[in-house]
Structure 1
């Protein structure tokens, strides 16, 4: 990894020093056997799902009888299931219900948090609308680049986590504005005595993507205090496209017109090999690169095998050609750029990362000291520190423009005029490049909690988080490329730069070897360099809460919780100076992202026991919470939530809740620095506008002087940015949940059964989003008033008079309406069978709607059941415990999906495969626990299920599979976990 920081800047080393000082003083607290026994009893209680206090209220309930639906996942369950990390658990189907997540497979894409970040979003509403907590306190965003706005799961500890509580309900009035879709709360083991060592290893069936984790947990408990912590080292090998057969040969994967034949029958067959071309260039979703060719003006020549015509402007070296353009064969013309004949597959393409490599160090410390004052108060602290070093491998094409008349151009091409002062453009397969990130994160918390009188409690804390990331990529520098191409003879048969400053190295002369990617190392070192940016994100929080009984009613105490919170966040992303100056050749430019915001909040919650133990109401409890929020940037608003739990008879409960939220835009949504990007030239609305005569589109394109058969040769430039300057507003939402819980008393021979069914409905209004460059262009060019009418045409610059290129400005605005509805079903069954106990848990989520629209006059489009948005998903977990043994079978299921209806295609005749079958993965594992050591071993994806295949055209793909986190790209894996307690 690159760009390591000096040890003095590493928060882990500073925290470790503090921990050693603290632990040195701890033995002064006399430890006794009762403390150890209490700790063991507390741990046993924490993992009992029938009694655990759950997230979603500051007034605790148990899992099945909580007002809001909550899922609890224990550490024992995740270890037996073979998960290597907290990120893997939270992004699994059991938590996400099939909603797509940003995981390690997105290293080559532009995502919030930067490459290597892992985030989680519930209900398909994105990570900025899901709140992640640890011990009830929020985890601040972390990551690289300007769009840092959500918690990076890589920073979370693993081995010291006791359980994870997932609230599948909005809770903005309880926890804050970003708890729109739900809340995830990690609860750590608290009082630990002794030392525990643990080692995990995952081996993959096909190699690549293997994982290792080594950890230590330590702690000591005394009469007046306790201290504990963990340190973990994690390493994941890179998984490349070439490591798996199903990703080694991407094709268009289509069938013939009318639906004839099999999938893949219509794929282009390379005349050179007689086989379908892997990783072609078609502009329809394939992801190869054009290499080993040159571009010229239209010249006569000899066609390559499969090419048509006698004149060409794309050529491939062929030493046997002695007529026409000597040494080259014609492979295409501008009007035939998508025929794939010109493309050459480079095996180095398969070195690209499918799963990025990573290495993390995580240190977590916690402790408390009884003060014997301030109401039996305890002073406590927490420290979380991590360093992530991640890396991705890419592939780079170099389009090298040789100036017209340059001595670097051979004699037979001196007459070429490619255009714009360029004589010949060489499309060179440059090879693999690297991107890397080093993210240092720490979060420190200090607080005091104690009693106010006999029955009231208080908790006051302050915390500070800091994410400091360096991100590095390799790039060609535009100015150095231009400098190196301006040469004169050096008098010795070679060339030198006319401007020798900066150690300029002359570009190589145009030859077949150069076109094939054989480039002088000295020149590569001059033009292709690492560029580094830095992202700093800080967040400070101060919180004060009190809770206790307000007054008594006939059926119990009315309890309340009240508090106030202040938060301040700051982002400072400084890209490389070359990126700021738009000096990265054929890559986006970025300007700094800088901004701050602060919020003051006051909140309260009450729970009222209306009835209890009477006919028709074994329990009737009402809960209400409210929060007043005041942002520096967006002013103030109020949110509330009302809920109730009614148990008419023993074993049957009904629950319902309704709440609102008010989410101010994240800092990057407000202040993102202008970032340039590109859309394919095929997104130009005026391409072949003559096919749509009489339409506003045809009229508008003709008004720009474009011919009816116009076809864009330049990509569309898209400038992205934050929306604060354009008046971006906060978004609001409504959340409704209703459910039934059945816990019938069954005969002893049957066992224990619990069932919960919950309906959920979330609607986000005035949502913060970007319209998208393609949408802006369509709305502008299809408008009858066009540029005279303003509207979205105000976001589109006039065409470049030289090459007709379009530039679109796509900043964050208040556009979207997102709506999700559906049902969650949960079943839990336990029964003693033979000498042991059988336990089964099943969860199924059924979405009935996943819809959105960008503009107020747009129709609401329902994506439910389309590719990457499953209608159904589910998990099954069956364990059998006997003596010191446990055995597990696990199942994860994502329902079949299809997008034919959305695109208006007939599946019987469509040339595209836009459907996938149901996807199942199975897991088996076993665990043996002795007095001091535990061994767990198993296999995930038992049948080595590969992701399903779809055609290119509308979806990003990995190989021929959809880019979707619900599929397992790694394949069958074997895992082993060994733990030892001292």
Structure 2
């Protein structure tokens, strides 16, 4: 009966992605029934081989069938719907991440992808971006996945750093006999975003071994915002409230706005102000007044001029014209794996992965701000109408704003190549002791190119066009501004109107900026497991492990970026590496067995010591307890301490140019002090005075008007490890009176200290001067010069933050058979009890963010299935609870759109075996075409909501 119950639970886990916690109670049978030997296996969360039912921590198992039912071509598309996981990066939210667009990463507990350890067959995988340990799931072929095991909490002691939130262990197929072909396509009912998927698997099994080869191809087309009528025809945003008069009148400063609006500054034909009017140029480059239809939207009269106008698009910028909801992504993945039995006690395994992916993000063209384009009165391209206007206003020059569509949109191409090879030797030393060893090496090559970029000096040279010897040339001037010659090789540009430049001019000014990144990971590991002593309740199981790993990364920017020749881009080359040696021990001690009040009571201990070349020695531990009361109920609890070591990029990345473009903010300015929250004002006044800044000081108007502040962004080699205290406890209830039913409930808690966070200029300013004194981690990254004005800043990562998150996981499975077929129901839900973050560690800065959009109270997934003969249908409902935008101090004075409604989508999939070896499948995702909530702060959120809409998937699987 024992084997039958385990088989039943495993079948459920594979069919519905049930937690192995559903398996835990299934071994609670009487001694009389336990007459057959049960094989011990290794399960995620431990390196000790044991009966699967004795897992001390929750382990969710997702099988191949459930992945097929979901109709996904990338495993991250499925993981993002699991209530305990969130999207880190995906093609839906990474369009504007220059080095990360197209990545697919998962994020357990919403604690950050860098705190989720992704393994492949129990071994680490190289990071998806050079210098970062976060794994890109694009490299994992879906058709090679056997199952996925997810263990949350307490995993650092078993697997090392980065497993703070838990482990995602992807188990791949080891061998296969035959040929399998799979093809599928997904087509949205509206707009772009089409997907095509195909795979080929073939292999051979023979006495003593076997092999499997796989090729996966996936092509995902881009989806522009303008492709979706719900966004383009009637978007939702916010605007200043014209009825607001003060911060104490009960009237919100901002209000929800529905409908299209256009930015009434800049234009691809250029735009400027002169003589009290706004001007641009028509298609013939003649001067005309700037057109914003019926005028700007009204605004709060205390907030200055509002820059948007409604209605039909006229001049300026059409909002969202160059933006994506989904970045295009093409993937090719090759796998070769196999195993060979040297003899009955020793087996050799190997696997190799080679993956190629290409993605690109797209942003708006270059923006030329006031002061960037200055046209002198002697410019050769000035027509009589503009010359006359300048003479009437005694203007020797004009300053243009321009949307630089002259060279097209800026696109960030990402070409990534990943190679990983691993070889392992596993076997038995004797009847009691077994071993497992491996060696693996991985490489990542990441090439980035920026199209539509501009060489700054060449552009400025080309702007100054004059007539010399009857030809239009680029002026060479003396110190007094007199033309004394022409610049050799320069091709003049006319920006007094729409783009229409010669190829010679485009070639002279435009460029493709490049950067090359690379990373390697080499590791070796060995584990010995066995029983050391027989107690009355059973043997003491142990595992002893050693692992060595080296992660290295480098960046080599192209010449234009290294020398600062490209508009808005500059950076230096760097290389760095981190080595680590890790020693780990696990012990399982059976305390009680077959007692009237305890069928089973086990204690699990784990300890790992890590010696990093970057941060020195550190350790992690885990203490776990499992208690089987009777056939129906089992309790479990784990207390652990986990760590995350800073990655190569956080430690050693070179300083690149960074701009703070949100106004010339200075916390010590008199007007900023006056608007500072009361709880900080005294500290700000005290600290600004201690920094030598006089009371009532204001930056010069020239400083305020000079645009963005230029600073640097880079690594910090003084970083230390993060430390997390983790607690998980819960129970599994499997009533023997209801066959096929179980429910698990687990409480979890994480407290992260010394948390690594990246701080921008505004955060550095506020955290520096709002602290108790200037002796804090932030002030040293701000540099002041003459008149106490900020001249530069350095944006980097610091060990200054604290995070706490806790909640409850609930999972229930009910599977039953009837005369008309088999039915299955699985409910998975996560409740967030509390999430709080403190970016400085000072008690006054604590923010409780429970229930906000990124940390919503409830997430749930209901999976219902029906199977009859060769037909199977699955209906899945994904639910996200209603949230708020801001929990900390929100009041009606700020805005009138704090509440965000709940969000539910439904997916239907069907599979029918038309022939013995041919399966057809059909699916409808987002059946009811649910768009993101019509809310200013959720309408474009592609991490939590589905922008693609209703789409159909059709696929076929053929086995030969």
Q: TM-score, normalised by structure 1?
A: 0.83
Query: Is this contact kept in 1: 2:473–2:490, CA < 8 A?
Result: no
With over 3 angstroms needed to count, the CA separation of the structure-2 counterparts of 1:174 and 1:949, relative to structure 1, is same
Instruction: Give the drift of 1:773.
Output: 1.6
Alpha-carbon distance in structure 2 between the residues aligned to 1:495 and 1:723: 47
Tell me whether 1:611 sits opposite 2:592 in the alignment: yes
Task: Output the CA distance in 1 between the equivalents of 2:575 and 2:664.
Answer: 31
Q: Is the 8 A contact 2:454 2:509 kept in 1?
A: yes
Q: Take 1:639 and 1:686, find their aligned partners in 2: how far apart are those partners?
A: 40
Identify which of 61, 68, 71 aligns with 1:79.
Answer: 68
Q: Is the 8 A contact 2:669 2:696 kept in 1?
A: no
1:61/1:913 Cα in 2 relative to 1: closer, same or farther (>3 Å)? farther
Q: How far, CA to CA, are the matches of 1:266 and 1:252 in structure 2?
A: 6
Out of 686, 699, 710, which is 1:717 matched to? Answer: 710
- Tell me, yes or no, if structure 1 residue 940 matches structure 2 residue 908: no
What is aligned with 1:352?
323
Counterpart of 1:731 (choices 722, 729, 733) is 722
Decide which of 118, 134, 138 is 1:150's aligned counterpart: 134
* 1:584-640 residue CA offsets vs partner (Å, 9 max, x unmatched): 21x242222310110001111111221122101111111111111101111112211
The structure 2 residue matched to 1:387, chosen from 350, 356, 361, is 356
Per the TM alignment, residue 256 of structure 1 is displaced from its structure 2 partner at its CA by: 6.1
Give the direction of change, closer, same or farther, for the CA distance of 1:903–1:220 in structure 2 (3 Å limit). Answer: same
Tell me, yes or no, if the aligned pair for 1:402 and 1:408 is still in contact at 8 Å. no
Contact persistence 2:252–2:894 (CA under 8 A): no
- Whether 1:877 aligns to 2:855 is no
Q: Distance in 2 between matches of 1:910 and 1:785?
A: 30
* Aligned residues of 2:851 and 2:887 also touching (Cα < 8 A): no
- Rounded Cα–Cα distance in structure 2 between residues aligned with 1:505 and 1:800: 39
Partners of 1:321 and 1:359 in 2: how far apart? 42
Q: Deviations over 1:283-307 (max 9, x none)?
A: xxxxx966554346xx4334xxxxx
Q: State the partner residue of 1:837.
A: 822
Q: Secondary structure at the match of 2:587?
A: strand
Residue 208 of structure 1 aligns to a residue in which SS?
Answer: coil
Quote the offset at 1:453 in angstroms.
1.3
In structure 1, what is the Cα distance between the partners aligned to 2:420 and 2:532? 34
Deviations 1:107-139 (A, max 9, x none): 33237x622112111111111111101111111
SS of 1:105's equivalent in the other structure is: coil
- Once the two structures are TM-superposed, the CA of residue 66 in structure 1 deviates from its matched residue by 2.2
C-alpha contact (below 8 Å) 2:275/2:393 kept by paired residues: no
Pairing 1:680–2:669 present: no
Distance 1:739 1:781, change over 3 A: closer
Query: Which structure 1 residue ranges, 5 or more long, are not aligned?
Result: 1-39, 268-274, 282-287, 303-313
Q: Is the 8 A contact 2:163 2:643 kept in 1?
A: no
Query: Do 1:257 and 1:911's aligned partners in 2 also have CA atoms closer than 8 Å?
Result: no
SS of equivalent to 1:552: strand
Which of 798, 816, 824 in structure 1 is aligned with 2:801? Answer: 816
> 1:158-237 to 2 correspondence within 5 Å?
158-237=142-221
Shift of 1:680: 2.6
Secondary structure of the corresponding residue to residue 178 of structure 1: coil
* Compared CA separation, residues 365 and 784, structure 1 to 2 (3 A): closer
Q: Does 1:913 align with 2:897?
A: yes
**Number of the residue aligned with 1:367:** 338
Q: Quote the Cα distance in structure 2 between the aligned partners of 1:558 and 1:856.
A: 42
Is residue 340 from structure 1 mapped to residue 308 from structure 2 by the alignment?
Answer: yes
Q: Distance in 1 between matches of 2:735 and 2:765?
A: 59
Q: Does 1:777 align with 2:759?
A: no
Quick one: distance in 1 between partners of 2:510 and 2:458? 9
Distance 1:707 1:801, change over 3 A: closer
Write the mapping of 1:375-454 to structure 2, written as runs, cut at 5 A.
376-399=345-368, 401-408=373-380, 410=382, 411-412=387-388, 423-430=398-405, 431-454=408-431
In structure 2, the CA distance between the partners of 1:817 and 1:719, relative to structure 1 (3 Å rule), is same
- The corresponding residue for 2:910 is 926
- 1:438 match: secondary structure: strand
Alpha-carbon displacement from aligned partner over 1:519-558 (angstroms, at most 9, x marks no partner) = 4443223212211111101000000111122221122221
The worse-fitting range, judged by mean Cα deviation, of 697-706 and 117-126 is: 697-706
TM-superposition CA deviations, 1:916-975 (whole Å, max 9, x none): 111000011211124211111110101000011333xxx6xxxx7143412111111111
In structure 1, distance between residues paired with 2:345 and 2:517: 42
Pick the aligned partner of 1:123 from 95, 98, 109: 109
**Residues of 1 paired with 2:439 and 2:731: CA distance?**
39
Q: Is the 8 A contact 2:97 2:361 kept in 1?
A: no
Give the TM-score, by structure 2 length.
0.85
Alpha-carbon distance in structure 1 between the residues aligned to 2:349 and 2:658: 47
Query: What is the CA–CA distance in structure 2 between the aligned matches of 1:975 and 1:222, rounded to whole Å?
Result: 36
Q: Identify if the C-alpha distance between structure 1 residues 964 and 61 changes in structure 2 by more than 3 Å, giving closer, same or farther.
A: farther
CA distance in 2, matches of 1:912, 1:464: 54
Any conservation in 1 of the 2:926–2:949 contact (CA below 8 Å)? yes
- Write out per-residue CA displacement over residues 469-491 of structure 1, whole angstroms, 9 at most, x where no aligned residue: 11111211112212323443254
Verify the 8 A CA contact 2:365 2:404 in the aligned structure 1.
yes
How far off is 1:192 after superposition? 0.9
Aligned-pair distance for 1:246?
A: 3.0
Q: Could you say which residue in structure 1 is the equivalent of 2:4?
A: none
> Can you list the C-alpha shifts for 1:228-277, whole angstroms capped at 9, x where unaligned?
1211111001000111123326563356647999999875xxxxxxx955
Q: CA deviation at 1:337?
A: 5.3
Instruction: Report the CA distance shift for 1:768/1:327 in structure 2 as closer, same or farther (over 3 A).
Output: closer
Q: Does the alignment pair 1:301 with 2:276?
A: yes
1:101 counterpart (66, 81, 88)? 88
Take 1:816 and 1:840, find their aligned partners in 2: how far apart are those partners? 41
SS of 1:115's equivalent in the other structure is coil
| C-alpha displacement of 1:868 | 2.5
The correspondence of residues 354-753 of structure 1 with structure 2, limited to 5 A, is 354-372=325-343, 376-399=345-368, 401-408=373-380, 410=382, 411-412=387-388, 423-430=398-405, 431-474=408-451, 475-492=453-470, 494-496=472-474, 498=476, 503-508=489-494, 510-511=495-496, 513=497, 516-585=498-567, 587-682=568-663, 684-685=665-666, 689-690=670-671, 696=684, 700=693, 705-706=698-699, 712-724=705-717, 727-747=718-738, 751-753=739-741
Shift of residue 686, structure 1, vs aligned partner: 6.1
Aligned mates of 1:826, 1:919 — CA distance in 2: 20
Instruction: Give SS of 2:638's match.
Output: strand
| Unaligned residue ranges in structure 2 (runs of 5+) | 1-6, 24-40, 477-484, 675-680
Structure-2 change in CA distance of 1:266 and 1:67 (3 Å): closer
Give the corresponding residue for 1:30: none
Give the Cα–Cα distance (whole angstroms) in 1 for the partners of residues 154 and 605 of structure 2.
13
Query: What is the rounded CA distance, in whole Å, between the counterparts of 1:67 and 1:104 in structure 2?
Result: 36
- Are the structure 2 counterparts of residues 708 and 74 from structure 1 closer, same or farther at C-alpha, using a change threshold of 3 Å? same
Q: Measure, in 2, the Cα distance between the counterparts of 1:422 and 1:56.
A: 70
Q: Does the 8 A contact of 1:229 with 1:364 survive in 2?
A: yes
Aligned to 2:31: none
Q: 1:778 to 1:624 in 2, by over 3 A?
A: same
Alpha-carbon contact 1:684-1:716 (below 8 Å) kept? no
Cα gap change, 1:490/1:607 in structure 2, threshold over 3 Å: closer, same or farther?
Answer: same
Stretch moving more, 604-613 or 346-355: 346-355
Whether contact under 8 Å (2:743, 2:813) holds in the other structure is yes
Determine the C-alpha separation between the residues in 2 that align with 1:227 and 1:78. Answer: 23
- Offset at residue 647 of structure 1 (A): 0.9
SS at match of 2:754: strand
| Distance (whole Å) between structure 2 residues aligned to residue 842 and residue 137 of structure 1 | 30
